Structure 1
Amino acid sequence: MTKKANQKHNAEKTVHDIRRATRRHYSAEEKIRIVLEGLRGEDSIAELCRREGLNTNVYYRWSKEFLEAGKKRLAGDTVREATSDEVKNLRAESATLKETLAELLMENRLLKKSVIGDGEDGI
């Protein structure tokens, strides 16, 4: 790659990184507000998205997710996703259980070796 092409590539990468870092993150409440505003139909979806600084594809994805979640809830599907604290606790418990299992496996191997006599009997 030539020096000029390399500089152009670096500049494009820098612009891309800045855009990614400054991308707006919407809370669940903001997403719901925007989707409900779109469903009301007072303004076109394109106008709503322009005003909110949002790509129309993102609006339609949120709208689909919103309606699917409502449909599941009305159908009686009340299973909820775990909260981040629950996930954190489950991961910690899983790590503890894995450590305990590893210790027990090591003890088991050591006991087998001591009973067999360091593997002299062919196991």
Structure 2
Amino acid sequence: MSRRNFDPDTKVAIVLEGLKGNTTIAEVCRKYQISETLYYKWRDKFLEGGRRAFISPENDRIKELEKKIEELEKIIGRQTVQIEILKKTF
């Protein structure tokens, strides 16, 4: 059996057809001659992509900046300790 390639738009249409609930997943899979396992993989990818659409890029940027601040605070802390050691040495 040759492997068929579905374009992204077709995959979305198939997943949406299954999500609508008008027919069973088994019927959708038979209609498009795909396995239920493949359908559920596509569905999971589709839903994950939808979840990412609702995550604000600002939140990602804020997390990135908070991590950078934490790294810089650690560097400042180490340098402060080194300065105090040098003051005591001289």
Provide TM-score, normalisation by structure 1. Answer: 0.45
SS of equivalent to 1:54:
coil
Choose the corresponding residue for 1:50, options 10, 19, 30: 30
Structure 1 unaligned spans of 5+: 1-18, 78-123
Whose relative contact order is higher, 1 or 2, with alpha carbons under 8 Å and at least 6 apart?
2
1:75 CA drift (Å): 1.1
SS at match of 1:35: helix
* TM-score normalised per structure 2: 0.61
The alignment yields a C-alpha RMSD, in angstroms, of 1.5
- Any residues of structure 2 matched to 1:7-86 within 5 Å, and which? 19=1, 22-77=2-57
- Please list the CA deviations of residues 40-87 of structure 1 after superposition, one character each: whole Å capped at 9, or x if unmatched: 00000001100110000000000000000110111125xxxxxxxxxx
**Structure label with greater radius of gyration:** 1
Structure 2: 5+ residue runs without aligned partners? 58-90
Q: Which amino acid aligns with 2:56?
A: G
Identity %: 39
If each structure's helix is expressed as a fraction of its own residues, which one has the higher value?
Answer: 2
How many residue pairs get aligned? The number is: 58
How many angstroms apart in 1 are the aligned matches of 2:41 and 2:52?
A: 17
